[in-house]
Amino acid sequence: MITEQEFLEEARTFLDANAERRTAAKQEWGEGSDEVGIFAEHTPEEDQAHVTAAKEWRQKTYDAGFGWITGPTKWGGRELPGSFEKAYRSLESSYTTPSQAPFGIGLGMIAPTIQSHAFEETKDRYLPAMYRGDTVACQLFSEPGAGSDLAGLQTKAVLDGEEWIVTGQKVWTSGAQYSDIGEIICRTDPDLPKHKGLTGFIVDMKAPGVEVRPLRQMTGGASFNEVFFNEVRIPDDHRLGDVNQGWTVALTTLMNERAAIGGAGMGIEGGGRSGVLMYELLRRLDKASDPLVRQKAAQLYAHTQVARYTTQRAMAKLAAGQLPGPELSIAKLALTNNLMKVADLVGSALGPRMMADTGEWGTYAWSGLLLGIPGLRVAGGTDEVMKNIIGERVLGLPKDPKPTK
């Protein structure tokens, strides 16, 4: 097998030939973008440009052997250890390359589910295409009437010969506007208990009957969508797992979703951009010597580091082929709590300038973070759901009593 050193030399040759080395220039206060929002605020044209650039770069890396370093060779992977993947990501970060954000959901959540639960021919069709960047995927779980109660969803799938006919609505779907496929969970037996009558599928987002509508957020952007399905036909070979066993399929995706969200950090930990701008803002406003501000900043730093270590524990389990425990729920809850601490700290320093645009660089931009936090508190399971998981699985507390009729 190739050594890690030989692998890195190969990777460096590829990157030198296809990308520019990232300069170590430090952003000066007042220069460039001061954006610190949680969700991207792109126009449809900007979305398409970002997706095109992301696809072009992913296709290059895949064709060169760096698109799925740990993946099976039959789907274009190299079956190398996770340490090789980590080493490549570290090396690639020193080069200027297009953002791979459009693939975050597909490769982080949907591809592992396909690999675990799909028919072999479906794996053969989609896994290479997803890792090469030819196919973008989204997640179709939440519904207007179900909220965080995924098992309460009502989008139905009815078997018609060798196809399933899907009718219903999904909501809060990130990336639906540019996705090629989606993972959808449907109710296939309304007579079974709600956790038992669900089935997962891969649906063509360009199929007749699929309608995507953007949802405007209070930040002004439209990072999420609602998706309508009007008698959309899905071949049975696009089913994930057995009929009425979709809850297991959904849990596979949700576990990976919480890993992706909880491990994101959003730039507030260590030397992340948002963290750097926050501490520089406090200095610019002569707040850095205020003992109360310093106490809040120290507490935030401690909390972000603990969250980082908790996430590393979960990632180590995944890398070892184990199912992580409740660490991912803890990490996801910690992220939103830490972001609220950031908003509180910045808000106490800025005052009205956080919500009233004075034109001063590095001030009003923080409103994007403040207004984006509620969306993140819903994504991947609400804070309330995470607290229930932690209470029951970590602390051993009894479940909340069900309401009496």
Which residues carry out catalysis?
257
Work out the number of other CB atoms within 10 angstroms of the CB of residue 17.
Answer: 9
Torsion of CA 314, 318, 322, 326, to 10 degrees: 30
Helices (H), 37-119: 44-63, 82-92, 104-105, 111-117
- Widest pairwise Cα distance in the chain: 71
Angle at 34 between CA 364 and CA 355, to 5 degrees: 10
> Measured on CA atoms in the order 151, 152, 153, 156, is the torsion positive or negative?
positive
The residues near 136 (Cβ < 8 Å, ≥ 6 apart) are 51, 55, 102, 103, 106, 130, 175, 178, 179, 180, 181
- Residue 249 CA to residue 31 CA, distance in Å, equals 47
Q: At what angle do helices 246-262 and 327-350 cross, to 10 degrees?
A: 40
- Residue 376 CA to residue 339 CA, distance in Å, equals 10
C-beta separation of 258 from 383 below 8 A: no
Which of 303, 292, 286, 291 lies closest to 350 in space, CA to CA? 286
- Residue 36 CA to residue 369 CA, distance in Å, equals 6
- Residue 363 CA to residue 365 CA, distance in Å, equals 5
Per DSSP, the three-state class of 124 is helix
DSSP state at residue 359: S
